Amino acid sequence: MRAAVLLRPGAIELQDVPVPAPPPGGLVVRVRTALTDGTDFKAFRRGHPRMPMPTPFGHEFSGDVAAGDSNGFSAGDAVMCVHTAPCGQCYWCQRNQEELCETIMPTMILGAYAEYIAIPERIVKRNCYAKPSDLSYATAAFLEPLSCVVHSLDLLNCRADDTVLIIGDGGFGLLHAMLLRQSGATVVLAGRREARLKIARDLGIDTINARSRNIGEEVRKRTRDRGADVVIECTGREEVWEAAPDLARRGGTVSFFGGLPADAKALFTASRLHYDEIRLVSPFHFTPAAVKRARDLLVEKKIDPLPLITQTVPLAEIATVFERLKNGEGIKFAVTP
């Protein structure tokens, strides 16, 4: 089969590799749709602390079971799943912090930009669902990014009367905006790419173009000078991390959703954090409960993420697609191996 390998930052190669065999208690899935994603793009651009290279590439997908018989799934079943599952046994799992499970990252599977992917038993058991026939493979492939956003919002407990500033107009910023709006919160999305901001506005989301407007001034205008109740950083850039607390109101919350490179540091004004009681949270990954709720949102059609797909392309174009993303084109691409 053909499978994309990220050799090093900036270098994707399509290789001929053997079709995987089902792991014990696991499945092999024929990938029908894999989505490009901000995490993959960061790995492509600058490397990733959790992704030693060369590495199989891609982790948002849906498809059909090709081999294996596990947990009620067998050949021919359409499935939607994520690329990790917690162990359920370790210190963190026992304390309902399954997203921090000590083996969740070492056991993650990568390689969705390929014709087939092997799913270990632990993922089949915890984080794999049947894909209903009336849900497209592309929509089902949003299960993983949506799980991240559901978990992120779990840590925030936003109120319906909150004004939430989201910084970053990529897929994660837009998914946060779409989901938050359902809770009734007032959402403002700040970004620098007009084409992406237009997609947000078409969905009825208020936007700030940070190239032509000052985010702080625009937020104060919308909040009687207070600042945002909640600020969600979705860019993964140090300067945005550092600017975020000053955009929150006294007693507000800042969420650092976009991870930084392994050696990055961010500087904050201590008096602002302490005397204005700014709460900082840093959501990472997701729990099986978040995956389940993301699944419900998609299956019950409470959220339609398809406007975030820029184009559907064959696997052969995977390297070109990441070059296009690097050139600032598009949001998410759907790859159909």
In the bound state with Zn ion, the residue whose beta carbon lies nearer, of 287 and 310, is: 287
In the bound state with Zn ion, the residue whose beta carbon lies nearer, of 101 and 200, is: 101
In the bound state with Zn ion, the residue whose beta carbon lies nearer, of 29 and 101, is: 101
Provide, rounded to whole angstroms, the least separation between the CB of residue 101 and Zn ion.
3
Mention every residue, 6+ apart, whose C-beta is less than 8 A from residue 304: 139
In the bound state with Zn ion, the residue whose beta carbon lies nearer, of 88 and 204, is: 88
Angle at 297 between CA 184 and CA 299, to 5 degrees: 150
Provide, rounded to whole angstroms, the least separation between the CB of residue 289 and Zn ion.
14
Provide, rounded to whole angstroms, the least separation between the CB of residue 327 and Zn ion.
40
Interaction site with Zn ion (CB under 5 A): 86-87, 90, 93, 101
Give Dmax (Cα) for the chain: 61
Provide, rounded to whole angstroms, the least separation between the CB of residue 124 and Zn ion.
17
Token pair 């190239």 in the structure block, residue: 211
**Phi, psi values for residue 292, rounded to 5°:** -60, -45
Provide, rounded to whole angstroms, the least separation between the CB of residue 50 and Zn ion.
16
In the bound state with Zn ion, the residue whose beta carbon lies nearer, of 59 and 122, is: 122
**Residue type at position 76:** G
Contact indicator for 257, 283 with CB cutoff of 8 Å: yes
Provide, rounded to whole angstroms, the least separation between the CB of residue 328 and Zn ion.
38
What distance in Å separates the CA atoms of residue 157 and residue 134, rounded to the nearest whole number?
32
Provide, rounded to whole angstroms, the least separation between the CB of residue 121 and Zn ion.
15
In the bound state with Zn ion, the residue whose beta carbon lies nearer, of 90 and 203, is: 90
Count helices and strands in the chain by DSSP H and E runs: 12, 18
Could you tell me the CA-to-CA distances from 176 to 12, 63, 131, 159, 318 in Å, in that order?
29, 25, 23, 14, 26
Q: Is the Cα dihedral 292, 295, 297, 301 positive or negative?
A: negative
Question: How many Cα atoms sit within 13 Å of 297 on the Cβ side?
Answer: 25
In the bound state with Zn ion, the residue whose beta carbon lies nearer, of 42 and 122, is: 122
